[in-house]
Amino acid sequence: MLIQNSMPAMLTRLRLFFIFLVMGVNTGSLAQSDNEWISLFNGENLDNWQVKFTGQPLGENFRDTFRVEDGLLTVSYENWDGFDSEFGHLFYGQVFSHYILRVEYRFIGDQVNNGPGWAFRNNGMMLHSQDPASMTLDQEFPVSIESQLLGGNGSDPRPTSNVCTPGTNMVMDGELVTRHCTNSNSDTFHGDQWVTAEMEVRGSETLIHRINGRIVFELHDIQLDPTDPDAQALIAAGAAIELKEGYVALQAESHPTQFRTIEILPLSSD
């Protein structure tokens, strides 16, 4: 008799458990889905983007390098005869803190003459970047955490979605990392194929890289490097060591690159 009476109660508790479980899953996903994806590139022009090249004033699109071709945001070296450390960055005009940034990119054509060897099929997304207006005229890279985008040479392994740290440091496995670049565990992508890269950023706490949906890198505690001259200038101007937010930018480092998607999903900071 006791067993018979306990069965309905047990079934009721099970039903409630599964209801709360589903509600819990939905609530957890809302932190990432209550906002909609926002396209940062409209497929037509560079509205809301701002250019900064080494040696050029802010807003000078040197040699018409950043352009829109056939609906693709393109880093073009059509008007270049050679490269002399004129690194370029294209900044979106808004500060972000907690978000997922998703880009679809590919490398095309040949590297411009005299481009550095390391910059072959090399681009990147600069996250938590300093304001481009605060960069010096001859500064090569903004202080930021870089999600590096790389293509293969056709034969050798070369992971993409690595991390480089112009003016910044990071923590991995509980240890402060001060070297400039650290490789991910991604596959190598040869040729002109499209690759989807996602960067999940949660303030200064966490940065997760995904390539074609797979996690390939994770770091924590993004911070300014007090030994770097460009970071020192920001610190002297009142910037905190902890790097919680900043601008998003993409690079021009001497190899033609195309982007067909650049979109962002704001996340809750809770």
| DSSP annotation string for the chain | -HHHHHHHHHHHHHHHHHHHHHHHHHHHHHHHHSS--EES--SS--TTEEEEETTS-TT--GGG-EEEETTEEEE--TT-S--SS--EEEEESS-BSEEEEEEEEEE-S-PPTT--GGGTTEEEEEEEEPPGGGS-TT--S-SSEEEEEE---SSS---SSEEE-TTEEEEETTEEE-SSEE---PPP--TT--EEEEEEEETTTEEEEEETTEEEEEEEEEEE-TTSHHHHHHHHTT--SB---BEEEEEESSS-EEEEEEEEEE----
Domain locations in the chain as residue ranges: 1-34, 36-266
pLDDT digits (tens, 9 = 90+) for 65-80: 999 999 999 999 999 9
Q: Quote the CATH superfamily of domain 36-266.
A: Exo-inulinase; domain 1 (2.60.120.560)
Residue 35 tokens, joined: 């906002």
pLDDT at 188: 98
pLDDT at 27: 30
φ/ψ of residue 161, rounded to 5 = 60, 35
CA distances from 114 to 65, 82, 84, 256, 258 (A): 16, 6, 7, 14, 21
Task: Please check whether residue 36 is in contact with residue 259, taking contact to mean a CB–CB distance below 8 angstroms.
Answer: no
Residue 242 tokens, joined: 């902890």
Residue 102 tokens, joined: 């998703």
pLDDT values of the chain reduced to their tens digit, one per residue, 270 residues: 222 333 344 333 444 333 333 333 333 333 344 689 999 999 999 999 999 999 999 999 999 999 999 999 999 999 999 999 999 999 999 999 999 999 999 999 999 999 999 999 999 999 999 999 999 999 999 999 999 999 999 999 999 999 999 999 999 999 999 999 999 999 999 999 999 999 999 999 999 999 999 999 999 999 999 999 999 999 999 999 999 999 999 999 999 999 999 999 999 987
73: nearest Cα among 103, 115, 109, 95: 103
User: What angle (nearest 5°) sits at the alpha carbon of residue 81, between those of residues 249 and 55?
Assistant: 45
CA distances from 16 to 12, 25, 61, 114 (A): 6, 14, 60, 67
CB count, 10 Å around CB of 125?
A: 24
pLDDT at 29: 31
pLDDT at 35: 81
Strands 72-75 and 88-92 turn out to be unpaired
pLDDT at 13: 41
pLDDT at 7: 38
pLDDT at 34: 65
